Structure 1
Amino acid sequence: MSQGKKILFYSTLVFVGAYFLFTGLVEAKGFLAPLLTGIILSLVVLPISRKMEKIGIGRGITSFLSTFFIFLLSLAFMWLISFQAKSFVDDWPEIQETMKPKVEQLKSFVMEQTPLTKEDLKISEEGGESAIVGAVSNNKAKALGFFSQTFGFLGTYLLVFIYIFFLLNYRTKLKKFIVLLFADEKKKEIQKVVNKSGNVVQEYLVGTSLLMLFLAIVYSIGLGITGIDNFILVSMIAAFLTLIPVVGNIIGFSLALVLGYLTTGETSVLIGIIITFSVAQMLENYVLQPFVIGDKVDLHPFFVILVVILGGATWGVIGMILAIPVMAIITIISLNVPALYPFGYLFSKKAPDKKS
């Protein structure tokens, strides 16, 4: 086989393999997404389990207490979000009335700056209204779909905590199982890779959790002083979106503009939002990121953005959140396996070139 045919053959294999890999991941989301979420969250609470075990508490009890702790945190987070969302829904008619002048100004701007006419916008609105009427007429199907999705979410939600408990309780056995898969002369090296992967992801997740907490406080103070009614809800969502590099900050800022400036129309609110997010970004980039997270995850920025996009295309929001920890593990493994080192060098931003 000639060199050109070999390149074509292997390139085709790579593209076909990648296609079936991502197709399989999409189909296996119901199984893999809760399991990976359980693995990531178990790494977050692993330090708590270890500290309790050092004072003599049994592993089964520490695993249960750590799982219960993160369960309570998740319930508190969902309650706060639902409480703030209910407040927003209750205020929606008033918000809608306040936004009408801004919407009219936007329509005027669109008609002046684009080929669209008033009739085009009217047709668009009528289409939207007919879609709403059609949706309302199908309330029974929507209600059944809502209950089905709710029960599915609750089942997946509880399954994550079952995974967390068993992963914490049987972590030593799982680690030994991975080591036993390899030859004796490789066991020490594999043990080192497993420990390093777990520690790096654990440190990154704990650091990211602290980062989100600090940013939520900064956003709450700034947006609260600015005068946004639902500032706690906006602050929590904006802080949570920092898990998604670059895009998350833009979405958070846009959300604050919609719920703040567009609903009030006051210039002071717009200035307050800009100042709040500017200060938060400066703190995140120059203080919180270097000191709280540092270089816990050695990934090139280009591949961070790439894997986040792929994660979102594959599993949605949960895929975007899990993308960076999973990619960090893949990079560490690649850097420590000679055959995979070129990929580790490509994904990493500070890996040395072994040939130089």
Structure 2
Amino acid sequence: MTDMPLTVKRSIELLGLVLLVAILVVGNNIIMPVIMAFFISIVVLPVYRFLIRKKLPEAIAIILPILLLVILIGLLVWFFSAQVGILVSDFPQIKNNVNIHLKALSNWVNSVSHISTTEQLKFITEKSDDLLGMAGKAASGAAVTLTSVFVFVGLLPIYIYLMLFYKDILLRFIFMWFKPEHHPKVKEAIYETEAIIKSYLVGLLIQVSYMTILLGGILFLVGIKHALLIGVIFAILNLIPYVGALIGNIIGVLLTLTSSTELWPVITVLIVIAVVQFLDNNILMPRIVGSKVKINALFAILGVIIGGSIAGVSGMFLSLPVIAVLKVIFDRTVMFKQWGVLLGDERPAKSPMSFATFRKKKPVTLKAGTEK
């Protein structure tokens, strides 16, 4: 392939990219559980190695980490279900609070416009009917969605077990793609990929824990109702880069509005979320994850949007680790090195338009504040 014209190489790269996206779109129900299982198997790999060193049988060394993972997820589901149960028990009060908020909104609309209360009620009724119609359509597909979720979750332990059991076959398969003189680079890429995935996913698990405790605990102490539910919802949604935090803020405000007739709890929730997010983004998360996932913000956001359009929430969640793994691979190949530069955040010190040295694939001087 080194003798091919440059235009042919670039055409093959673009066609390969289009083909990859097409495969992901068509087969996301099959591919996404495999990718998720791959990342989780990397996370539980240290536990597996520890148990192997303790002379446990291989099957038990694989099953025990999976059981711990299932217990952890079960506890999270139980906690979330308990909080939702509390919310459902407060439904009569929520309905009354919503009516008060709607009445206050109606009075405000009357004061700033000529729309009468009757016209407002007609508009609300029409939109409510539309919303109920949409809810009915969503409910009709709920069984299919629920089934796919159960299939997804049910396949994960099986895939994780088989990936750990056959990991040496998978590694041999990878090495056989490359010439022996390239094996040291392949080995280095495998170790770095493992470190990035482990650091990122373990960091996210720690992040969910301290975000739930910090946010839920502070809101509980200041007297906000459903504080723990707001905390756990925001912590989970915050796993989705950029988009999740916005959705978490909206849900937190809506839950607060439905549980109170005053505005100060809403302002309190927004302030507490902003403070916790500041601590998370600038102090806690950089120390936990470090700077190993060096993806620029543009392609991080694009990755989240594309991942969401291909595979929903799971695609949004997996977008950053997938891009990080691709960057590790691209950085170690001469043919695809430019793609690694495109995904990374290493900004050259000067414009490539004026300085030819910054147009090449070799390492370049970076701008101040950018880590290599």
For the aligned pair, the TM-score class normalised by the smaller chain equals: 0.7 to 0.9
Compute the displacement of 1:119 (Å). Answer: 6.1
Please name the residue that 2:78 is paired with.
79
1:54-83 CA-partner distances (Å, limit 9, x unpaired):
222233211111111111111111122122
- For 2:34 and 2:115, the matched residues in 1 are separated by 49
Q: Distance in 1 between matches of 2:301 and 2:17?
A: 18
Partner of 2:153 in structure 1? 157
CA displacement at 1:256 relative to structure 2: 1.5
Q: Aligned equivalents of 1:254 and 1:133: distance in 2? A: 21
Deviation at 1:266, TM superposition (A): 2.9
Aligned CA distance change for structure 1 residues 97 and 19 (closer, same or farther; 3 Å) = farther
Picking from 329, 332, 340, the partner of 1:333 is 329
Residue 189 of structure 2 aligns with an amino acid whose one-letter code is V
Partner of 2:65: 66
Distance 1:108 1:306, change over 3 A: farther
Q: 1:202 aligns with which of 198, 204, 211?
A: 198
2:270 match: 274
AA aligned to 2:325 is: I
Q: Does 1:188 align with 2:187?
A: no
**Deviation at 1:314?**
1.4
Q: The residue matched to 1:238 in structure 2 has which SS?
A: helix
Residue 101 in structure 1 maps to residue 97 in structure 2: no
Is contact 1:335-1:341 (8 Å) kept? yes
Q: Which moved more, 1:332-341 or 1:123-132?
A: 123-132
2:187 partner amino acid: Q
Question: Partner amino acid for 1:190?
Answer: V
CA distance 1:263–1:196, change in 2 (3 Å): same
Determine the structure 1 residue equivalent to 2:163: 167
Distance 1:24 1:124, change over 3 A: farther
Q: Structure 1 residues 291, 134: CA separation in 2 closer, same or farther (over 3 Å shift)?
A: closer
Aligned-partner Cα distance in 2 for 1:20–1:123: 50
**Hey, what's the Cα distance between the residues in 2 that align with 1:244 and 1:115?**
42
User: Residue 176 of structure 1 is aligned with which of 172, 186, 203?
Assistant: 172
8 A Cα contact 1:211 1:289, kept in partner? yes
The 3-state SS of whatever aligns with 1:243 is: coil
CA–CA separation in structure 1 for the residues paired with 2:278 and 2:323: 26
- Matches of 1:50 and 1:13, distance apart in 2: 38
Q: Give the alignment of 1:1-356 within 5 angstroms.
A: 14=14, 21-109=20-108, 121-131=120-130, 145-350=141-346, 354=362, 356=364
Number of residues of Structure 1 aligned to a counterpart in Structure 2: 345
Q: What is the identity percentage for the equivalent residue pairs of Structure 1 and Structure 2?
A: 26
Distance 2:107 2:314 in 1: 39
328-337 vs 104-113, which deviates more?
104-113
| Contact 2:241–2:317 (CA under 8 A) maintained in structure 1 | no
What is the CA RMSD across the aligned residues, in angstroms? 3.0
Name the stretch that deviates more: 344-353 or 68-77. 344-353
Change (3 A) 1:135 1:278: closer
- What secondary structure is seen at the aligned counterpart in 1 of 2:295? coil
Cα offset, 1:212, TM superposition = 1.6
Q: Mark the CA change 1:209 to 1:116 in structure 2 (over 3 Å): closer, same or farther.
A: farther
TM-score, with length taken from structure 1:
0.86
CA 1:249 to 1:148, structure 2 compared with 1: closer, same or farther past 3 Å? closer
Structure 1 unaligned spans of 5+: 1-5
**Change beyond 3 A, Cα 1:111–1:351:** same
Q: Deviations over 1:292-330 (max 9, x none)?
A: 111121111221111111111211111100000000000
* Superposed displacement of residue 228, structure 1: 2.7
1:236-262: CA deviation from partner (whole Å, max 9, x where unpaired): 110112212232222222222111145
Normalised TM-score (structure 2): 0.82
**Bigger RCO (CA 8 Å, 6+ sep):** 1
